[in-house]
Every structure is written in structure tokens, then in C-alpha cells.
Homo-oligomer: A and B are copies of this chain.
Amino acid sequence: MRVRVDWRASVSLTGRILKYLSVAFLVPIAVSLLYSQQDLLVFVATMAGTVTAGALLERVGPAEDPGPREAFLMVGLTWLLVAVVGAAPYVLAGSGTVASPVNALFESMSGFTTTGATVMRDISVDAHSRELMMWRQLTQWLGGMGIVVLAVAILTELSVGGAQLMEAEAPGPGIEKLTPQIAETARALWLAYIGFSVAQAVLLYLLGVSGLAPEMTAYGAIAHTFTTMPTGGFSPQARSIEAFSWAVQWAIIPFMVVAGTNFVLFWHVLTGDWREAVEDSEVRFYAGCLASLSAIVSVLLFVDNALVDAENVGRVAGLVEPSIRHAAFQIVSIVTTTGYASMNFDVWSPPAQYVLVFAMFLGGSAGSTGGGIKMIRWLVILKSIRRELFTTVHPEAVRPVRLAGRSLDENAVRGIYTFTLLYFVVFLVGTLLLAVDAARVGGIGIEVIGLVTATAATLGNIGPGLGMVGPMGNYLQFPWSSRLLMVGLMWIGRLEIFPVLVLLTRAFWRS
């Protein structure tokens, strides 16, 4: 391919996506009509603006079938422009800390990338209108919907080794035969996504009316549904899921697990192929990680005597059910990169906290809405290390890395290696930049653990970290320039780094 990248086609496609997006504003408009009508005009105006902008951008060029380079550009551009459009309601509503342009962009990017990091100081439907809070939740649900398609239909083709990986992981039908067309694949996966969402909303609502969760209203049920399936983590409650009963906490755990699972597996289950799903090597590794880390943290919480008087939560140490519940909830929340909190884990003992830091570097499954490095990559890396140890002893042996009974292409292995190392490089350098930027303004209140986990939480699309960015904290203590840098980290992390970095190379733009 020696032709110049057709940026007009990319812009045009992005415009079309903005037009689709504008339909989503009907949700906050409906909420507004149901409740206060406080920010009704805000959303009507943004909707009109988005349609106009979309239509104008669509006219920039012919909406031709994009090549790989145009697809890269479109994907990167889409998440950026959607975040900009999504920031408008925060600015126009003008309530609280999210009204400043940088904060609005942060909150919007955090929403659409399903990160869940927040710069909203007063998280409640008193400080902000219900429609604005619902928009905040909805951005995550929309972002998750976008990721489901992107991860399965596009990103695997674009990102290094992704396509080969998918083929190895989904033998039998094979990802390319799963459905003949991207549009049809998307429909199948969206069906699962919407199906689980409806199930969760109904369950949460029933818990509310049954008296098992008196705090759960219809609004709350929908709000939390909008942020669970996309592994988003935004909550209209400042205290996150801590604000709800044990029943709600237990009910949300399986939905987070589902959200972090490869959605292609649900397709297998739906078509009756249970065995395919159960025997999937990534899903076993995923289940093993969740179970073992939850077990470790359960014990750590059970013996943590300082947790006896945990504020708002009551006694945890020495009690079996609360120890297991908070451990499982938090591990599942961090590994799947949801970012909900069932209690303020910033008061946990340092050992238990470190297990969460460890979990921040795992990530959900491939083909899920989860972020981070992801299970499949760690699985391939561990298998590859074992292979390398074997060939060190037997240099003459040729031994491919096997996944689901198939040999993995060496290019796929190299792609996974490169991604994972690049992830660590971006993490280390990102923290370095945040550190230098923090010093610029005096660095007041910014701790090393806050710097490190803030980077891990934004790059990995997790949301909360430790210390100043703990589950009950926010990102307001960072200077505005750092918050802008984090907008970039969320963006680059969500798109799995390569598609964004490629845009910065000369080779991409030169014909």
C-alpha cells in the first residue's frame, strides 16, 4: 500500500458515528422530563450540536470502505471526538467541579473509555441534576458498546497479533466465520451486552422493592447497570457500592465477572456449545486468577484487626462473610477493571492493598469491555516463558507456544510481548511525566503511591487507585496539565496503545 492515508474518509466515518451518538442524548432528555427538567436545554442543545457537527464532518469526504490506515485513524479520532462532544453537557450545565473544560473532557473521556476516574467533587444527584448524572453513567455504557465491537471486530485485525490470537482462541467456527459480516457480529455481541444489562437492571430493581436493598431505586438500578457491563465503575453515589447492602454487592459480582469475559464465549453458549466455552484456556486462567486472589485477600481481611471499626462498613476482620464479600468484590472489580468499591480499600492493610496493585496489572479478558494488559496476554507470556526455559536446556528443540491445542504463530507471540512491554514503558514514562508535572505546581499532597496507581488506573481504564486517588477520592488534586495527560492515558489505554502510537509515526502519514 503506497498511497497516502485518506484522512477525509476517516473524518467522514467519524462524523457518521457522531450522528448515531446524538440519538443517545434522548436518554438524559427523558430523565430530565421525568425529574427536574433542570438541564433539559443543555441536552437538547448538545443533541442539536452533535447532529450538526456529525453531518458537517460526514461531508468532508466520501464515506468509502476504509483501508487499515483509515480504520486506525477513524478509531483514534472517534474516541477523541466523542469525548469532546460528551464533555459539552458538563460545561453547559455548569454545576460543580466538572464544569471547567479540562475537567469536563476528563470526565467525558473517563466515561467513554469506561475508566471511571472522576474529577467530580460532590458525587450526588443533589449537587448535579439527575439527567447530568445519568449522562455520566450512559457514556460508559455507550463506550462499552463501542469497545465490544472494536475489540472483536476491528481491534483484533489492527492490533499486533490480535487476529491470529482470536483464530487460535476460537477454533471450530473461527472468529472470521462467527458471522460473515462485522455488522452481524456486532449485532450478536450487542445482543448479549444488552441482554445482560436488562437482567442486571431487573435484578437490582427487584432487590430494591423486595427490601433486601432499601437504598436501590429504579434510577439507581439503571445507573449501576449502565456502568457494570462496560466495566465502567461510575456511580451516582459518592460511596460507590459501599452505599448499598450486602445483597447488592453480591449481586453485582457475577455481572462484573461476565463483563470481563470474552463476549465470543457467550456466542458459543448461546449456540449450545457449552464445552467450547468451558474449555477455553483464557476463561480458565481468568477464573483461576479471580479465585486465588480473592482467597488471598479474604484471609488478609479476616486477620486485619485494624479493619474492625471500618468506617461505614462495620466489622470485617474476624467475620467470614464480609471478608469474603469485600475481597471477592474488590478483586473482581480491579481485575475486570470495573473500579467499583464495596468499601474504602484505602484503609486496608498494606499487604492487602498491594494485592490490588498487583491485580491492576492483570486486566480483563480479550474481547470483553475490560481494559489493562488482559488475561490472554499473560497466559501466552507464561506459556512462552516455560517454552523458553525448555529450549534453554534443549537448544535443538523446536517447540511452539500452544493455546487451545493449536500452535500459536510466532508473530502473534511477538506482538503480545511487544504490547505488554510497551504497556510497562508507557506506564513508567507516564508516571514520570505526572511526577515532573506534579513538582511543577509544588507537588502538594501527591504521594508516590498516588502517582503510580493513578497512572495504572487511567492507562488500564480501571478508575480508582490508592492514596489520593483511592475509591472515595478523586483526581482533582492533580494539576490541570496532569489531568490532560491522563485524558491521553485513558485514550491510549482504551485503544490498546498501538492504534494511537501508529498515528504518531512518519510511516503512517507518508505515502
Residues of chain A having any CB pair with chain B under 8 Å = 1, 68-69, 158, 160, 296, 299-300, 303-305, 349-355, 357-358, 361, 381-382, 384-385, 388-390, 392-395, 413-415, 417-418, 420-422, 424-425, 428, 431-432, 435-436, 438-439, 442-443, 446-452, 466, 498, 501-502, 505, 507-508
Q: Across the interface, which residues of B come within 8 angstroms of A296, CB to CB? A: 436
A442 to chain B, nearest CB (A): 8
Q: Across the interface, which residues of B come within 8 angstroms of A435, CB to CB? A: 350-352, 354-355, 358
Instruction: Give the complex CA separation of A498 and B69 in angstroms.
Output: 40
A353 touches which one: B355, B385, B448 (CB < 8 A)?
Answer: B448
A374 to chain B, nearest CB (A): 14
Judging by beta carbons under 8 Å apart, are A438 and B351 in contact?
yes
Judging by beta carbons under 8 Å apart, are B384 and A446 in contact?
no
A230 to chain B, nearest CB (A): 27
Q: Which partner residue on chain B sits nearest A396 by CB separation?
A: B1
Q: Which partner residue on chain B sits nearest A362 by CB separation?
A: B428
Can you list 29 pairs linking A and B with CB atoms under 8 Å apart? A160-B388, A296-B436, A300-B439, A304-B439, A349-B439, A349-B443, A350-B438, A350-B448, A350-B451, A351-B443, A351-B446, A352-B439, A354-B451, A355-B435, A357-B452, A358-B431, A361-B428, A382-B425, A385-B421, A388-B415, A388-B418, A389-B501, A389-B505, A390-B507, A392-B502, A414-B414, A417-B417, A417-B421, A420-B421
* Protomer copies: 2
Q: Across the interface, which residues of B come within 8 angstroms of A417, CB to CB? A: 414, 417-418, 421
Instruction: Give the complex CA separation of A288 and B298 in angstroms.
Output: 46
Q: Across the interface, which residues of B come within 8 angstroms of A451, CB to CB? A: 350-351, 354
Q: A357-B452, A393-B502, A393-B508 are in contact. Are A385 and B425 (CB under 8 A)?
A: yes
Judging by beta carbons under 8 Å apart, are B354 and A385 in contact?
no
A354 touches which one: B158, B448, B466 (CB < 8 A)?
Answer: B448
Q: Across the interface, which residues of B come within 8 angstroms of A350, CB to CB? A: 435, 438, 443, 446-448, 450-451
Q: Across the interface, which residues of B come within 8 angstroms of A381, CB to CB? A: 421, 425
Q: Which partner residue on chain B sits nearest A386 by CB separation?
A: B505
Instruction: Give the complex CA separation of A381 and B422 in angstroms.
Output: 9
Instruction: Give the complex CA separation of A323 and B447 in angstroms.
Output: 21
Q: Across the interface, which residues of B come within 8 angstroms of A425, CB to CB? A: 381-382, 385
By Cβ-Cβ distance, the 3 closest A-B pairs, closest first, are: A351-B439, A351-B435, A354-B435
Q: Which partner residue on chain B sits nearest A467 by CB separation?
A: B448
Q: Which partner residue on chain B sits nearest A305 by CB separation?
A: B442
Judging by beta carbons under 8 Å apart, are A1 and B507 in contact?
no
Instruction: Give the complex CA separation of A348 and B351 in angstroms.
Output: 24
A449 to chain B, nearest CB (A): 5
Instruction: Give the complex CA separation of A339 and B354 in angstroms.
Output: 24
Q: Across the interface, which residues of B come within 8 angstroms of A384, CB to CB? A: 418
- A415, A428, A443, A448 pick with most chain B CB within 10 angstroms: A448
A418 touches which one: B385, B394, B432 (CB < 8 A)?
Answer: B385
- Other 13 A-B pairs with CB < 8 A, given A350-B451, A358-B435: A160-B388, A300-B436, A350-B443, A350-B448, A351-B435, A351-B438, A351-B439, A353-B448, A354-B451, A358-B431, A385-B425, A389-B498, A394-B507
A315 to chain B, nearest CB (A): 18
Judging by beta carbons under 8 Å apart, are A394 and B1 in contact?
yes
Instruction: Give the complex CA separation of A304 and B441 in angstroms.
Output: 11
Q: Which partner residue on chain B sits nearest A394 by CB separation?
A: B507
A511 to chain B, nearest CB (A): 11
Instruction: Give the complex CA separation of A388 and B505 in angstroms.
Output: 11
A505 touches which one: B304, B393, B424 (CB < 8 A)?
Answer: B393
Q: A355-B432, A358-B428, A505-B390 are in contact. Are A303 and B349 (CB under 8 A)?
A: no
Q: A421-B421, A505-B393 are in contact. Are A351 and B388 (CB under 8 A)?
A: no
- A395, A450, A452 pick with most chain B CB within 10 angstroms: A452
